[in-house]
């Protein structure tokens, strides 16, 4: 496993395989570097490691799961549990066991640690006696210490129910003592529009721009940058270069001051200002601006420069300054100490929804012409594609770089995530290019069945499946169908432009553009839905009704087993009037097509919004019954079943089913009974390998630090004093196969 991880080590380095380096002063900051350790060889060695960890910190975050991953062989667990039981029998015994050197710990925090280790000891023996009482005590202590976030309430209740002998009583206790807060939602429609927003919505653009400029002058420091960015976006859409220059002058004056005086700045809030220079193809101005911002950012805020480097690299590429491109990329890597995560963060960015920076770099390497550069381009492309399985730009390049190897790699992607349609689309594209028309047609039909609306892809890339099918039809001589499919794609492209106007606040203009897009293809559910919601929010519900109805009629045939439509984010079903349209429309569809699982699934979403959980469960159960591989329906059903004490056992059975159908990346979340630590350990030992074959990171030309999988030497610890489970995010750990250690660290019962 080519993984890096950083775990704090304590002051005492009595174990020979430990290596220490000071990274702070006293108290909570006096952590020492502690890289991931191999499993302990003996019970005594493991106990010493635990004591060392406890000597500088109370048990928080993922620390306990790391200790779990470092246990020796199971024949020594009985010795460990005996020593833990003795050490945690009371507070005095625990303080002696812990020998804390951290004066900032409170007795309450130490008691929480004691209870956690006591519970851990019982679970090592799969002994559930009194475990619920222990866990209740931990929950109350966390609440007392201020660590009880409503964000984790559902997760906490699920863990509590795993230990429960009386689920009904458990839920009653939880509701009384933890008091889960209600979910809150907000939407664009919920907030009151400002004067400039109202003017823009009705296409009074001159007045709207004037009012926006006034709003910028009076805005708070935190809001000013975003408002300036919105002004730049308006200048681009309305084709007003003078306004654009004014906005960018304001932006350049504001941005550096903002980085120097604000605790946190995200490029997301001002990306439209940078995008302005891209839309205007003012590459030198973009390069100069990005460089100026990057060099002015204080060292402690450098983590927010990924996107800035991506924008600068895009500018350098278009300026054909290829040596500067590579030097700047190396400069960024050096700043991030060659962390692969930051390297890919930069290369994955697609400024202004254009070509990803990684694709530009691959083109640069390929253009050099020498075999070594071309080989490196292919290796980088495989890593970028594995991390971005929906990015057409990387598929396009990999099949050009090495068509033979690309076939095997794309097939691996298809097995890795059976719900991602892009591998099928590009297999169809390769078959079409090879003249295998029938094979291409079969593959593209499978892709469309997985996601008919192609909804989880960004601007300019949606509906690529229909572009491929159009060319397949043309190759078969079916020109009428080919032209029709091109109209479908054109409709979506025009709808994407309408989205730009909608998000810029030009509501009336956006509405007209949605209607024009539907003139090319009236059966685009996404456009019908977006138009309906836009009309409703503009106070024109009667005009929205036919578009809502049309959208609901189209939805059951527009989704696959894992659609990406965020109904909760969009709050499409939140309005009672919309609910009254959706339910009869979907019921009518279900009556005509009783075997279609999408209709009951959508009904379940409506019932969820209406807080009718019993009806939602019935609907999702029907969807899963009709399609056992309906991943989204099964995951939503699981969340509901886990909350119902009468159906908690049914939830655990569904969890096993989800383990079988989940994409490889997600399987770890559905390993049954994570509280039974012996059986979970065995499940981790026999976990399947990843179907993706990736080049080791060391072969990408990065100057990586020592990798823990081969050696256990000192690694500089960079992330403060909190535990990190891995140098990568969960999805990236999965790419080269979940190791036993990674699975143990991610035990969902032990985490948090």
pLDDT tens digits for 546-563? Answer: 999 999 999 999 888 987
- Asked whether the CA dihedral 634, 639, 644, 648 is positive or negative, the reply is positive
CA distance to 67, 392, 738, per residue, from 734 (Å): 21, 22, 5
Residues 566-579: pLDDT tens digits? Answer: 666 667 888 999 99
Q: pTM for the complete prediction?
A: 0.86
Neighbours of 319 (CB within 10 A): 14
> For residues 32 and 21, what is the distance between their CA atoms, to the nearest angstrom?
5
SS3 content of the chain, % helix, strand, coil (to 5): 65, 0, 35
How many residues are recorded in the chain?
752
Share of the chain above pLDDT 70, in %: 84
Helix-helix angle 479-503:507-518, to 10 degrees: 170
CB 399 within 8 A of CB 413: no
Neighbours of 251 (CB within 10 A): 22
Half-sphere exposure of 752 (CA within 13 A, CB side): 13
> For residues 547 and 536, what is the distance between their CA atoms, to the nearest angstrom?
10
Instruction: Calculate the dihedral angle through the C-alpha atoms of 94, 100, 106, 110, rounding to the nearest 10 degrees.
Output: -30
Return the structure tokens found at 22.
Answer: 């000071």
Instruction: Calculate the dihedral angle through the C-alpha atoms of 168, 172, 178, 182, rounding to the nearest 10 degrees.
Output: 90
Does position 21 have pLDDT exceeding 50, yes or no? Answer: no
Tell me the average pLDDT across 696-709: 64
More confident of the two residues 190 and 568: 568
Closest Cα partner for 465 from 418, 525, 425, 492?
A: 425
Tell me the average pLDDT across 92-107: 68
> For residues 469 and 471, what is the distance between their CA atoms, to the nearest angstrom?
5
DSSP 268: G
Residues contacting 243, CB < 8 A, separation 6+: 209, 231, 234, 235
pLDDT-derived band at 703 (thresholds 50, 70, 90) equals low
- Provide the pLDDT for residue 2: 32
> For residues 40 and 72, what is the distance between their CA atoms, to the nearest angstrom?
5
- Provide the pLDDT for residue 182: 46
Does position 425 have pLDDT exceeding 80, yes or no? Answer: yes
CA geometry: angle at 385 spanning 382 and 389, to 5°? 145
- Provide the pLDDT for residue 184: 42
Residues contacting 495, CB < 8 A, separation 6+: 513, 514, 517, 524, 526, 527, 530
Residues 144-159: pLDDT tens digits? Answer: 877 766 767 888 888 9
Residues 288-301: pLDDT tens digits? Answer: 999 999 988 877 66
Q: What's the whole-number average pLDDT of the chain?
A: 85
Highest mean pLDDT among 307-311, 343-347, 428-432, 452-456: 428-432
Return the structure tokens found at 440.
Answer: 């291409």
Residues contacting 558, CB < 8 A, separation 6+: 452, 453, 455, 525, 526, 598
pLDDT-derived band at 56 (thresholds 50, 70, 90) equals low
Q: Is 322 helix (H, G, I), strand (E, B) or coil?
A: helix
Residues 246-282: pLDDT tens digits? Answer: 999 999 999 988 887 877 777 888 899 999 999 999 9
Phi and psi at residue 32, to the nearest 5°: -110, 160
Q: Which residues pair with 9 in a beta bridge?
A: 32
Pairing of strands 32-35, 6-9: antiparallel
Closest Cα partner for 247 from 298, 212, 204?
A: 212
Share of the chain above pLDDT 90, in %: 61
CA distance to 8, 462, 685, 712, 715, per residue, from 35 (Å): 7, 43, 22, 7, 6
Tell me the average pLDDT across 602-626: 96
Tell me the average pLDDT across 8-14: 28
pLDDT-derived band at 112 (thresholds 50, 70, 90) equals confident
Q: Which residues pair with 6 in a beta bridge?
A: 35
Domains of the chain: 219-354 (1.25.40)
Task: Kindly state the helix (H) or strand (E) to which residue 403 belongs, with its residue range.
Answer: helix 403-416
pLDDT-derived band at 394 (thresholds 50, 70, 90) equals very high
> For residues 394 and 391, what is the distance between their CA atoms, to the nearest angstrom?
6
Return the structure tokens found at 85.
Answer: 């039981």
């Amino acid at each position: 496993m080519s993984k890096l991880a950083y775990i704090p080590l304590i002051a005492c380095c009595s174990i020979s395989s430990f290596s220490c380096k000071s990274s702070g002063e006293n108290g909570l900051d006096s952590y020492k570097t502690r890289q991931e350790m191999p499993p302990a060889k003996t019970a005594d060695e493991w106990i010493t490691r635990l004591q060392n960890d406890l000597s500088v910190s109370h048990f928080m975050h993922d620390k306990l799961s790391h200790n779990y991953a470092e246990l020796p062989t199971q024949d020594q667990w009985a010795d460990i549990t005996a020593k833990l039981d003795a050490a945690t029998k009371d507070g005095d015994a625990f303080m002696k066991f812990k020998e804390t050197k951290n004066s900032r710990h409170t007795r309450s925090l130490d008691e929480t640690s004691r209870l956690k280790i006591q519970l851990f000891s019982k679970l090592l023996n799969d002994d559930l006696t009194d475990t619920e009482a222990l866990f209740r005590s931990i929950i109350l202590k966390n609440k007392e210490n201020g660590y009880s976030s409503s964000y984790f309430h559902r997760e906490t209740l699920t863990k509590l129910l795993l230990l429960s002998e009386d689920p009904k009583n458990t839920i009653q206790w939880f509701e009384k003592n933890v008091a889960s807060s209600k979910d809150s939602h907000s939407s664009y429609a919920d907030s009151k529009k400002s004067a400039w927003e109202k003017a823009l919505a009705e296409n009074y653009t001159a007045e709207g721009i004037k009012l926006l400029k006034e709003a910028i002058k009076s805005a708070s420091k935190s809001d000013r940058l975003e408002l300036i960015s919105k002004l730049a976006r308006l200048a681009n859409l309305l084709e007003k270069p003078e306004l654009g220059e004014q906005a960018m002058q304001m932006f350049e004056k504001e941005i550096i001051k903002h980085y120097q005086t604000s605790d946190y700045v995200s490029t997301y809030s001002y990306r439209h200002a940078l995008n302005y220079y891209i839309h205007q193809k003012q590459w030198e101005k973009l390069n100069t601006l990005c460089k100026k911002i990057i060099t002015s950012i204080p060292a402690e805020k450098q983590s927010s420069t990924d996107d800035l480097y991506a924008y600068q690299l895009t500018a350098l590429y278009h300026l054909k300054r290829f040596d500067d491109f590579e030097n700047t990329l190396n400069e960024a890597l050096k700043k991030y100490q060659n962390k692969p995560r930051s390297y890919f963060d930069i290369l994955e960015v697609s400024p202004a929804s254009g070509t990803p920076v990684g694709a530009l770099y691959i083109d640069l390497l390929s253009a050099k012409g020498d075999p070594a550069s071309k080989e490196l381009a292919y290796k980088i492309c495989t890593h970028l594609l594995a991390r971005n399985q929906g990015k057409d730009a990387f598929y396009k390049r990999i099949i050009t770089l090495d068509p033979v190897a690309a076939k095997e790699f794309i097939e691996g992607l298809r097995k890795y995530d059976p719900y991602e349609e892009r591998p099928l689309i590009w297999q169809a594209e390769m078959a079409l290019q090879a003249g295998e028309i029938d094979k291409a047609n079969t593959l593209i039909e499978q892709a469309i069945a997985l996601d008919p609306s192609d909804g989880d892809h960004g601007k300019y890339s949606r509906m690529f499946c229909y572009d491929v099918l159009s060319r397949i039809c043309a190759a078969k001589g079916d020109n009428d169908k080919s032209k029709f499919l091109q109209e479908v794609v054109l409709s979506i492209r025009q709808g994407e432009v309408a989205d730009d106007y909608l998000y810029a606040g030009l509501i009336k203009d956006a509405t007209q553009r949605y209607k024009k897009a539907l003139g090319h293809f009236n059966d685009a559910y996404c456009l019908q839905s977006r138009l309906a919601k836009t009309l409703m929010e503009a106070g024109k519900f009667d005009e929205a009704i036919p578009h809502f109805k049309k959208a609901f009629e189209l939805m059951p045939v527009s989704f696959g087993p894992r659609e990406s439509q965020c109904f909760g984010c969009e709050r499409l079903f939140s309005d009672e009037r919309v609910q009254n349209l959706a339910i009869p429309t979907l019921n009518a569809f279900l009556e005509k097509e009783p075997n279609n699982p999408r209709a009951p699934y959508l009904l379940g979403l409506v019932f969820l919004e209406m807080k009718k959980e019993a009806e939602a469960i019935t609907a999702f159960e029907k969807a899963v019954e009709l399609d056992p591989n309906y991943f989204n329906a099964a995951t939503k059903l699981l969340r509901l079943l886990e909350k119902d004490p009468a159906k908690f056992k049914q939830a655990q059975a569904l969890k096993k089913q989800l383990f079988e159908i989940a994409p490889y990346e997600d399987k770890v979340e559905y390993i049954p009974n994570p509280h039974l630590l012996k059986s979970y350990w065995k499940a981790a030992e026999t976990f399947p390998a990843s179907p993706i074959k990736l080049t080791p990171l060391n072969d990408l030309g990065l100057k990586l630090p020592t990798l823990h999988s081969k050696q256990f030497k000192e690694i500089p610890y960079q992330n403060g004093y909190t535990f990190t489970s891995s140098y990568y995010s969960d999805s990236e750990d999965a790419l080269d196969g979940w190791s036993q250690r990674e699975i143990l660290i991610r035990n969902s019962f032990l985490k948090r």
